[in-house]
Amino acid sequence: MKRGARHGAVTVAPSAFGVAPSDTPIPNPRRFRRPPAAPRPRSLRLADGRIIRLPAVMGILNVTPDSFSDGGRYLEPARAVDHALAMEAAGAAIIDIGGESTRPVGAIAVSADTELARVMPVIERLAGKLRAPISVDTRRAVVARAALAAGAAIINDISALEHDPGMAAVVAKARAAVVLMHMRGGPTDHARHTRYRNVLDEVVRYLAARARFAIAAGIARSRIILDPGLGFAKTGRHNLILMGGLWRLGALGFPILVGASRKRFVRALAGEGAGAVELANAAAHALAIAAGASIIRAHDAGATAAVVRMAAAIAAEGRV
């Protein structure tokens, strides 16, 4: 090989494998520069003093008959409690309980009374048993108020406090943490609202605006989490664009939650078989952590916890 004339580059000699010789120089590695990355928040302090070390896994507990992945499996409160405790033991730092399905196709809106009847027995039975903070996946202030009074610490609102005018005040009064997610439409029709000029720009602008709204409503900035809403009013390509641009959301300075677990775009790329889907989940979760995500919302808490630990360790060394 001979040393090139510019930037300490070298020109590769003709390949022994029959590849045509190239005059394209190889850049000097010392001149490589990493793109700037926003620092990932290291922890999330809750109102009761508990601290969630980030990055963390949020275990999904659907107490619904029709959720897309595990609908009906944990509808009975005793089974739901056992699963919550198992996810905590496997590495989940947060347990997210939801009583209304938001599946892309076929979701059925339920009343507040139905949602309360599903989630409250589980929250009440977990009291004194679960150390991990409870998050409740709800759009309704009445459900949030009851859940927070029973011991929940986080409200995961897929409408980013837009669906119920009373939600922001409930969260602020309880000094709870809140997840603000991007979505268009509602649980039953969001799949029909997937047209964007620039999905990444629009999601970043929307979540920045909703974070400002939450702060103005009295919610502590340090307890706001942003979620790009993968699969909610998004095509498969939109989801990939958002995953690739997570650093833009991270630059806003809030913890970022990513919920790709077993979603349609993951299954479509993975191919047939549960094993392939779980491997695709792992890839999505690892890349999300590398891009700065702070919380991974997932069905398989144990496998995801291992992925998060490994990806976070590599990402930490890469930022040295």
Neighbours of 52 (CB within 10 A): 22
Residue 152 to residue 145: CA distance in whole angstroms: 9
Question: At a CB cut-off of 8 Å and minimum separation 6, what does 279 contact?
Answer: 270
Active site residue 297: yes
205 as an active site residue: the answer is no
What dihedral do alpha carbons 200, 249, 190, 304 form, nearest 10°?
Answer: 120
The CA-based angle 107-203-161, given to 5 degrees, is 60
The pair of structure tokens assigned to 74 is 């944990």
Ordered DSSP codes for 58-117: EEEEE-SS--TTTTTTT-SHHHHHHHHHHHHHHT-SEEEEESS---TTT-----HHHHHH
- What's the one-letter identity of residue 129? K
Q: How far apart are CA 22 and CA 76, in angstroms?
A: 66
From the list 145, 210, 234, 297, the catalytic residue is 297
Structure tokens at 158: 């897929």
Half-sphere CA count of 270, side-chain side, radius 13 A: 21
161-198 burial, b if ≥16 CB within 10 A, otherwise e? bebbeebbbbbbebebbbbbbbbbebbeebbeeeebee
Say which of 103, 263, 264, 267 is annotated catalytic.
263
Per the DSSP assignment, residues forming a β-bridge with 60 are 96
Distance of CA 63 to the CA centre of its chain: 19
d(CA 166, CA 141): 6
Distance CA 143, CA 150 (A): 11
Q: Could you give the residue numbers annotated as active site?
A: 263, 297
